[in-house]
Every structure is written in structure tokens, then in C-alpha cells.
Structure 1
């Protein structure tokens, strides 16, 4: 085995030293009725004779991006149970929603969810032993050294799919060079989003012959029929007024969005903002922020009516962002006016909704570049620029139509990552 096990031992010692802080964070990321012992790998043992695929995603965004892969794995491996793990409670909720849909359709194998264990050596070993997967799939940048080592110890092949490393993440991981080299030595196959990502993984120690550039699975996101129905119903209810969405917003960003909306309303008094904060624990605070600005606000979670006087519709529910995008004339994707790195620009683009974003796009630079090349992205620097762009686009229907068509064309032109990813996985686990 290549790598430096001593680096992992130092890493494990550091985790144990920081365990009170780590456990405090994990304590907050919980769902009612779910045992916290899952965080220590204490899950039920796999049923005798069962076959298991394990897919790990960090949070709700990764679960959403992985949806095409989840559906494809269920169809390709119907005799395997698919276990999805997440780190966050929001990711768990999104996973459980997919589990419910899978059960309703009944067109593939069983799907279930666990919280991923904290990366302590004993917890990782216990989890992998009890789960006993035939294949472990880690999504994007979820590289947990002890979990990867536990898979190797049990002879479980590991794949990383939709692999990405932003320049910032690469610099951070490179400071842990020996630890990352050992972690990547346990990965049998890696599907990178881009050639640049592949080069960064190779620089960290990933074997070149185990890397393939597959493209981004986000381009293969299929329309959700249920979300489309909600979009149509919501748009009918909202009427002909100008509607825009600010999705996946973060602290400091809502203020800019609300300021831009206030300026828009000076020229478009009937305009409606659908505001969707990224994290549910902030829903109440954002509602208070809207009230403090004197904006008439309706909350989705309370089923409050949107009237002609309503200025802001607060999307304080989980799993409905795609439906909100589909009901809008324009979409601003958050995490981009603050140094977060952006969120999925393709969700609105795939629905034929013009996309606006701030400048902080480190996590989606490849997607942003594809949209830029087709002039399918409007980039703004601050609240004033956002307001100006909104006013211009609401006054120019042909421009909105061009942006919408260009965005959809980008999505269609870049599909194919799913097929390339499945082909790579088949080398590790042949199709049934």
C-alpha cells in the first residue's frame, strides 16, 4: 500500500484531541428519532446475504447533484440496496425525500439513509464492517482518511465521482500532502469534473492511470416532474407580476438581495422576490430581516397567501428550490455575493430561467465558464449591480428569452457525465 500511515495516525490523534468541538457540531446536525450513535458507526449490521452500494454526499447540494446517479444506480443494480450517507441534517432530509420517491416508484433497488460516522478510526471501522458494502462511492471532495482506510482494510473498492478540487481546496489539502497521498492510495477510480481537477488530484498523489475526466454530473440533472407541477401551480397563483428568485442565500447576502429588490420595486411596484435561504436554521432570522425592512412577507412553511401587497415570499421549506426556480422569470443563485464559492447555476438554467450570479464562483467555475461561453450568465458585483441587471432584464423580454435558451443549450451540450461515470464504476462492480 502506498502512502504514509503515520500521517493518518497523527490526523486521528488530532481528531481525538478536538473531539469535544467535533461532537458539538455533529450534535446540532441531527433529525428527530435518529440515534446519534450513527455518528460513531453504530448502525444495524447488513442483513445476511444482502448486497450493498454506499454513496456518500456531504449535504443537500451534493445529494441534489447526485440524483441522476442515484436513480441510475437503482436501475442498474436492482438487487443491491443503496445506502446514502450525509454529514448534515439538510442533506439527510433531501436523501429521505429521494428514498420516499424511490419507494413510491418501485422501479429499482431499496434505498436508505444513515448519517456518516465521524472520521475517528473506531467509528469508521465499525461503520464499514456493519454496512459491508460491495462498493463505496464518495461524491466530489468527501475524502475522509479513516473511512477510506477502513474500506481498504475490508477489501471494499472505492470510487470518487464528480471529483472536484477548487484552487482554494487544493491549497488546503496540499498542506496535508502525506495524509492526502495515503488517503488517495485507497481510491481505485476517480471521475474528475475537469482536466484541471484531474491535475490537482494527481498532484495530491492520485495515481494518473486511475483518473478519468468525466465532466460534471450536474449537467445530467433530469427534470423532476413533481417540481415542475409545483412550479406551474405556483406561477398560476402568482399571476402576471414580475417574479424573481434569490436561491441558496447566505448571511450578508440577504441584505444585498433585499436592497436590490427595493430598487427594483421603484420601477416595478408589483415585483415579487422569492427568497430561499440556504440553511433552515436561518429561516426565522431572514423572516425578521424582511420585517425589519418593512417588507410584506409571506412564509411558505406557514402556507401564507401571496397577495398583491406581498413583496417577499420566503421559501422556508426544504427540497422546493427547483420548483421556485421554475416559477420565476429570473433567478439569482446565492453563495456568490459572499465568499462561499457559489451554488448550482444549472438548476435554473435547466428549467429555462435566466441566471444571475455574484463573482464568488470558485466551487462552480467550470459550470460558470460553460455558461459564459454561450453568453448565458449575468454576473453582478453587488446589490446596486444586481438591481440594475434586474431592471434591465425585466424591461427586455427578448433578452430574457435569449438567456433562457442559451442556458438550456449549455445544459444539453454538456450532458454525458453520467454515462462516463457509470462506465467507470462498472469496472469496479459489473452491471447485474
Structure 2
């Protein structure tokens, strides 16, 4: 019953979705979404496909790691990948090219999902992390298509929300053939929501096994690298965080006048917004995308390009991971940890609670929640190479000790291919 109510409300909202997708169709090519794909109008597959679904960049990177391993064993596999966002799409298209077929994910309407599945002919659907759509799962269940949740995460807050719609939650959970959870706590929450215990398996977090690519030029900002300037990075920031970061940098500059900040907003549509914010603070800055603005003397570099975050991490001496000063839940801390960088985060880390807990336990990460505490930690680490390097080595050790999830996941998927 709840699924029918959900579907009715979705139909009522469909015109608004159309306006949104029409608007996006006028965006630059790299951010453009073909509206027809959102309604299931995609190219027909000549053979049954293996369908992977990933939301955005993080999930797409994890999916890419699995797919590369599967294609290494069997290059003939027919793989279709759907993503929700343009950033996720870019990761798949750039990373896998013509070895897979990419489409934007169809909206969760019964007719749309039926049309989409008739055209791609899936023999299995592998969903990355936690992207649960009632009509998708219902249609797969009716068609007898196994659904697997890979690298599955479920926070306590999310579990409580699903429990509020108990009958709908149980229906969705009942559609899963297999849930490959990143940790024991995640597994227990899925069981609590209705997944049979025998259909769950703890495989670990694939993100520990990813090879992060350093795209673009050999150096992110060669002027600072050549000058050996002390650099800290605020990565994947959201609205509400940039102001705090800039206030923190002003405080850092009072104690370390030659300190530099790289700030990389999470979403490309906010690049210009953050540029105006920097200007309002009367801080000098350059834009990564505009080489004519580059000067060694600038106080801030605005990272306004996509796919280059690992290069920015490599340049930095200290890394602040965004999405953690506001209730987003944090972003991937494994990236800076894999490069041996000391990590700072706000307290909102529920999306990466287990990973952050491991890093903090080993002395590789610190919590700072406001401009004063962030600036205090940054000044301390920039001025203390021994502590900074020690934290970085501990971070790298955590990553290296947590390898193995990718192999376990690939092995669990093979019987369904």
C-alpha cells in the first residue's frame, strides 16, 4: 500500500522532474543529462546485460573497481552502468570508456523501469552502497532478476528512517538476493530492516582497495610546489562550510603568513559562488582552471576542475575533508589517507563513521568543528613536521591493513554473472 502511495506522489511530482531535466539539458556538455534516458528510452541491448547502478562519484569509483576486475577475467561481459549525477557519469565514461554502456538512471515510475529493463535485458542488478528505489526493486522481484547491494552501508539514522515506513522497507529488503555489507554494524541494520541473515555477508569496504588516479597535469599547482609553500586543503566542501574554512585560513595567516589554502567545492555549480565568497574576504586567489590567474603569491587556490582531487591531496601537507561541518555525513577519507596525509574532519561523519573511527584510533585523524579549532590544528600540523608525517604514516597504514574487500566482493558476484 505504501508503495502505491509513493508511486502516486511520484507521478504528481513528475512534471517538476521534467522541468529539472529540461533545465539540465541546457547545461555544458559535461553536465548535460539526456532527458529521454530518465524515462527509460535507451538503446536496446543485443544480449542480456549485467546492470550496475551508482549514484555519484564515490559509488562510481567503487563500481569501476569491481567492473575492471570482472572485465579482466572476462572481457566479453555485457555491462550497463547507470549513474544519477553527471560527476558519477564522468567517472564511468572516462574510466571505462566503450568497455561498458553508460546511461543516466531511469526515474522510479513503473512504466519507466519496465521500459528500461526491457531494453537493457538485465540478468542481475548490482546497486552500489545504498540506493533503494521501491519500484525498481519491485520490478526486479517480479521479473526474477537478482538484486545485489554491494559495498552496502546503512547508518543508524538511515535505519531509523526506514523503520518508520516498515511495510515498504520490508518489501524493498525482501527483493535482495544478497547484501555485501562493509561492516558488521551495517549487516545487522539490514537484517533488522528485513533482509534474511543468510543473504548478508560482510566483505569490507571496497574503497580501501581502490587505485586513485591522478588526472591532468603532473602537478596541481607547480608554483607552490616549486616554492615549498606550506599548503592545507579543504576538499569536497558544501554550502555552509566554505565560510568557516575561509575564516580559519584568515586565522592561520596571522600565525603563518606564507600558508596557502586549496579549497575544492564538492559540486561544480558552486565554483563561482565560492569565488565570490573568497573575494568578499579580500583574500587573493587563483583558479585551477585559469592558468592566467596563477601567481605564487596568492593565498588561496580555488579547485574549480573535476577529477583532479587526488592531485590536490598530493600537493597538500594537511587535508580537511568536507561534508563534515554540516550534516552531510562526511566524504571519502581513504583518498588522503592512501597518500599519507594527516586528516582533519568535522564531527558529522556518519557516512564514514567506521573509517574515521579507525583513522582516529590510530592517531591519523583529528576532529575540528569551527574556524578556531580548525585553524589551531592546521597551524600546529604545518609547524610540526614530525607530528604531521607521523599522522600521515599512520593513515597510510590503516588503508594498507584494510585491503581485501574488492576480491571478496568480486568472488561473491561471480555466481550471478
Distance 2:38 2:212 in 1: 33
Q: 1:151 to 1:321 in 2, by over 3 A?
A: same
TM-score, L = length of structure 2: 0.94
- Deviation (angstroms), 1:400: 0.8
- Deviation (angstroms), 1:182: 1.2
- Deviation (angstroms), 1:231: 4.3
- Deviation (angstroms), 1:147: 1.2
Secondary structure of 1:165's aligned partner? coil
Unaligned 5+ runs, structure 1: 1-5, 104-109
Distance 2:126 2:205 in 1: 15
Is 2:244–2:370's contact at 8 Å kept on the other side of the alignment?
Answer: yes
Are 1:426 and 2:376 matched, yes or no?
no
- Deviation (angstroms), 1:317: 0.9
Is 2:126–2:149's contact at 8 Å kept on the other side of the alignment?
Answer: yes
Is 1:74–1:82's contact at 8 Å kept on the other side of the alignment?
Answer: no
- Deviation (angstroms), 1:126: 0.8
Residue 62 of structure 2 is matched in structure 1 by 65
Deviations 1:120-166 (A, max 9, x none): 11111111111112221101111111112222333322110011111
Distance 1:29 1:191 in 2: 34
Q: 1:263 to 1:250 in 2, by over 3 A?
A: same
Are 1:53 and 2:41 matched, yes or no?
no
Is 1:358–1:379's contact at 8 Å kept on the other side of the alignment?
Answer: yes
Distance 2:370 2:21 in 1: 34
1:78 pairs with 67, 75, 79, which one?
A: 75
Unaligned 5+ runs, structure 2: none
TM-score, L = length of structure 1: 0.91
Residue 106 of structure 1 is matched in structure 2 by none
Residue 195 of structure 1 is matched in structure 2 by 184
Q: 1:237 to 1:398 in 2, by over 3 A?
A: closer
Residue 281 of structure 2 is matched in structure 1 by 293
Residue 87 of structure 2 is matched in structure 1 by 90
Is 2:223–2:296's contact at 8 Å kept on the other side of the alignment?
Answer: no
Distance 2:225 2:382 in 1: 20
Residue 265 of structure 2 is matched in structure 1 by 277
Secondary structure of 1:37's aligned partner? helix
What CA RMSD, in Å, does the superposition of the two structures yield over aligned residues? Answer: 1.9
Secondary structure of 1:389's aligned partner? helix
Secondary structure of 1:14's aligned partner? helix
Residue 38 of structure 1 is matched in structure 2 by 37
Is 1:354–1:376's contact at 8 Å kept on the other side of the alignment?
Answer: yes
Is 2:33–2:86's contact at 8 Å kept on the other side of the alignment?
Answer: no
Deviations 1:87-135 (A, max 9, x none): 11222222222134xx5xxxxxx12311001101111111111111222
Are 1:259 and 2:247 matched, yes or no?
yes
Are 1:132 and 2:121 matched, yes or no?
yes
Are 1:184 and 2:181 matched, yes or no?
no
Is 2:173–2:194's contact at 8 Å kept on the other side of the alignment?
Answer: yes
Distance 1:304 1:327 in 2: 20
Distance 2:408 2:96 in 1: 25
Residue 8 of structure 2 is matched in structure 1 by 13
- Deviation (angstroms), 1:74: 2.3
Further displaced range: 173-182 or 273-282: 173-182
Q: How many residues align?
A: 413
